[in-house]
Copies of this chain bind each other. A is one copy, B any other.
Amino acid sequence: MSRPTIRDVAALSGVSLKTVSRVLNEEPGVRPDTMQRVLDAVAELRFQRNEAAANLRRRNNSTRIVGLVTEDVANPFYSAVAGAIESVARQHRHLLLVASSGENPARERELVEAFCARRVVGLIIVPAGGDHSYLEDEIAAGTPVVFVDRPGLPGRVDSVVTENAEGARAGVTHLLNQGHARIAFLGDSAEIYTAVERHRGYRQALEDAGVTLDYALVRFGPHDVALAEQAARELLALPEPPTAIFAGNNRLTIGSVRAIQETGRRVALVGFDDFEMAEYLDPPVTVLAQDPEALGRNAAELLFDRLAGDGGEPRLVTIGAPLVVRGSGEIAYSDGGTARRRAVAKR
């Protein structure tokens, strides 16, 4: 029931504690036959070193555990980020502790503290809103922190983010290039960094093209497909409806697809963030493809660089979100007044 210790191994193999420790740590200077006896005892007792105890004593002690605080582990986007982080951690023979903050700053802090109390070697955080200066002590204590998906403590800490504004700008410009001028913007809550950035890109694209922003076409808020569909439906029911929609994330994109299908009109659509079925919808959806895997990988690599002693200035790594052309974004502007034919761009 109770686990064998290094003492038990020493007793069984008839050597001292230290010799067992040497064998376990593959330190040189143990006679082969002694080593064998120790190994036999280890096997017989099924001994497993207590890493926590070993760590406590070691000079260069390290739990070899990285902490990840994300918004929601169950969210496929963040789970892709987590998967990439885990993969890099694995290469460095580290383990990953994960937790979800649920966009709650207080919970985020609790989790970070729980991680630190367990002496994770570094933290990767998808920051919820709020102030992150509580991390300064931890950073001062030598725990590297990397923010991912959204920046935090800018200029003080490394961050890896998607090119939200640039991507949105490219996407909206793409719609403008198809002749659209009335382009709606559908965004998540205006509290969320990425939503705001994407809106910024939208505005820039309009400005670049000399198109006046019509606030009637801008909607922030819907957080799920149903609400997004509702919002898109309202936009499309305006007296002067948009001829194209730019959707700020994949739930909004899906809602938009549904609302557009309902009208039977040929409304162009570009969405931010790729999703599994985008190419199988009708019409296939043109998107700005975020790369969660690159986000996670870069964050983890940055973290391990810091752990390896890289003391350079805090970095801001940006990951592109290239336009993936599939059909919905290439529906050209047409006067539309009476374009009611149910012209569905099949494939």
Contact = CB atoms under 8 A, between A and B. Distances in A.
Interface string A68-86: 0000111110111011101
A193 interface: no
B74 A63 contact: no
A1 interface: yes
Interface string A25-66: 000000000000000000000101111110110000001010
A96 interface: yes
A257 B275 contact: no
B86 A118 contact: no
Interface in A250-297: 254, 257-258, 275-277, 280-282, 293
A52 B55 contact: yes
Contacts of A254: 276-277, 280
Contact of A141 (B1, B76, B100, B142): B1
Interface centre among A46, A52, A80 (most CB of B within 10 A): A52
Interface centre among A63, A78, A96 (most CB of B within 10 A): A96
A7 interface: no
Contacts of A50: 56, 117, 119
A136 to B, nearest CB: 10
Contacts of A206: none
Interface string A224-258: 00000000000000000000000000000010011
How many of these chains are in the complex?
Answer: 2
A118 B73 contact: no
Contacts of A114: 95
Contacts of A74: 79-80, 82-84, 293
A68 to B, nearest CB: 9
Interface in A85-126: 86-87, 90, 95-100, 113-119
Interface string A118-142: 1100000000000000000100111
A1 B139 CA distance: 9
Contacts of A116: 48
Contacts of A22: none
Closest 9 pairs (CB-CB, A-B): A74-B83, A79-B79, A277-B277, A76-B76, A52-B52, A51-B117, A73-B83, A46-B137, A74-B80
29 contacts: A2-B141, A46-B137, A48-B117, A49-B117, A50-B117, A51-B118, A51-B119, A52-B52, A52-B56, A52-B63, A52-B118, A52-B119, A65-B118, A73-B82, A74-B83, A74-B84, A75-B79, A75-B83, A76-B79, A78-B79, A86-B99, A87-B100, A95-B97, A96-B97, A96-B98, A97-B97, A258-B280, A276-B276, A280-B281
